[in-house]
Amino acid sequence: MREMIEAALQKIVGEPAWAIGRAGLIWIQLGERKTVTSKRGSREVGQYALHLSCPWIWRHGDQVIADADSDSEQLGRILATPALCSSVAAEDSGAFRLSFSNGTDLQVDTGEEEGEYWRLFSPGDDSPHFVVGSDGIGN
């Protein structure tokens, strides 16, 4: 499973992470910016989106910048300046770490809950989502 996760996340290596927010889950926009239109109107999204529904922590060295309990203000500071994803490391559990050009790391853990942990997809197109959850990898 580790190899499949690293292969999926390898798409975002070299891509900028430029926005993060909360909408019941944590979303991160990565890659080239594009506009998508839906029934709710137009919005700017990344070439890739990462949705997290599991425990995570964003660090700069030993300092915690934000985690799953952070408020909107803390989240906004993480990517006030976009940062390139420089490497990916994954575990068979579905957990992974993304390292960024600004010296920060995003550590995503799977937790103990049943259901979906996280997903990577391309907003606005019909390509399959790469989904990791308590049942393994799906789409």
Kindly report, residue by residue over 38-91, the tens digit of the pLDDT.
888 898 999 999 999 999 999 999 999 999 999 989 999 999 999 999 999 999
Task: With CA atoms as reference, report the closest residue to 56 among 102, 12, 117.
Answer: 117
Task: Give the structural domain span for 31.
Answer: 2-138
Kindly report, residue by residue over 1-46, the tens digit of the pLDDT.
999 999 999 999 999 999 999 988 999 999 999 998 888 889 899 9
Are 100 and 28 in contact by the 8 Å Cβ rule? The answer is no
Q: Count of domains in the chain?
A: 1
By DSSP bridging, strand 26-38 and strand 41-52 are antiparallel
Conformational region of residue 46, where left means phi above 0, alpha means psi within -120 to 50, and beta covers everything else: beta
Measured distance CA(108)–CA(115) in Å, rounded: 15
Residues ≥6 apart with Cβ < 8 Å to 135? none
- pTM attached to this predicted model: 0.94
Are 110 and 94 in contact by the 8 Å Cβ rule? The answer is yes
